[in-house]
Amino acid sequence: MRILIVEDEPLLAQRLERFCREILGEKLESVRCANLWAEAAARLDESPIDLLLLDLNLHGRDGMQLLAASVAGSFHTVVVSANTDQALRAFEYGVIDFVPKPFSQERLAQALRRVTEKDARTAGAAKYLAVRKAGRVELIAIDEIVYAEGAGAYAELVLADGRRELHDKTLEKLQTLLPPGFERIHKSYLVRWSAIKALHAQEGSRYEAELRSGLRLPVGRSRYKELRALLG
């Protein structure tokens, strides 16, 4: 795992780095520290990361903009901050965890587990997904999303009004963030459960889910039985 730590107090950066090494051991590919998000963000293209540990004063507009910019990235974000009163807001923006300062190694380990473990899910508190658009970041309300379609390193979000938005995270990372109402029906599709009208079995063991909009999406063979049971 590649980790970036943004923390302007050297002792705390040192503490985070030490804990990461101790928790992840072999699994840690690289860890970098930066004083400010702005200077680290510029170098993300050349050296991509999987996780951002962000110290952030979320009070004020600057803080929230910064957070939106970071959660729009392809990586997961864990906020490490003393401003616990802003934790809920951070979750709404789609951070995978909020570690309050002061923190122990156990607490950080718990946060890292959410990133590393397969099928790990957040409490589903996210309300927005941030998407990058022509140099700025726009927030999409999760309520508007009907389904997400995986496209390699990206995911395409399809909204209720038919708009499609490109999100920088993989479908797997999105699944971790999105609330439980979304089901993975196919390796490339993550669909809002309430949007599915019916399941259809086609010839040749092809399965399809019919959405309320009339649109049909493929269903993975391994997922069909489970979904069938869920639909009752």
Q: Which residues bind another protein (CB under 8 A)?
A: 8-12, 14-15, 35-38, 57, 59-60, 62, 66, 82-85, 100-104
In whole angstroms, give the CA distance from residue 39 to residue 24: 26
Minimum Å distance from CB 98 to another protein?
A: 13
Q: Both tokens of residue 36? A: 């400010």
Find, among 155, 151, 162, 160, the residue nearest to 130 by Cα: 155
d(CA 165, CA 35): 32
The C-alpha atoms of residue 227 and residue 232 are separated, in whole angstroms, by 9
Q: Are 138 and 131 in contact (CB under 8 A)?
A: yes
Q: Least Å distance between CB 27 and another protein?
A: 23
Nearest distance in Å: CB 11, another protein: 5
CB of 16 to another protein, least distance (A): 9
Q: CA–CA separation, 6 vs 80, rounded Å?
A: 9
Residue 96 or 99 having the CB closest to another protein: 99
Residue 119 CA to residue 105 CA, distance in Å, equals 23
Q: Which is nearer to another protein, 135 or 152 (CB)?
A: 135
| Closest distance to another protein from the beta carbon of 40 (Å) | 11
- Please identify, using beta-carbon distances, which residue of 29 and 62 lies nearer to another protein: 62
109 or 160, CB closer to another protein? Answer: 109
Which of 83/176 has CB closer to another protein?
83
CA distances from 187 to 30, 106, 149, 219 (A): 29, 33, 9, 9
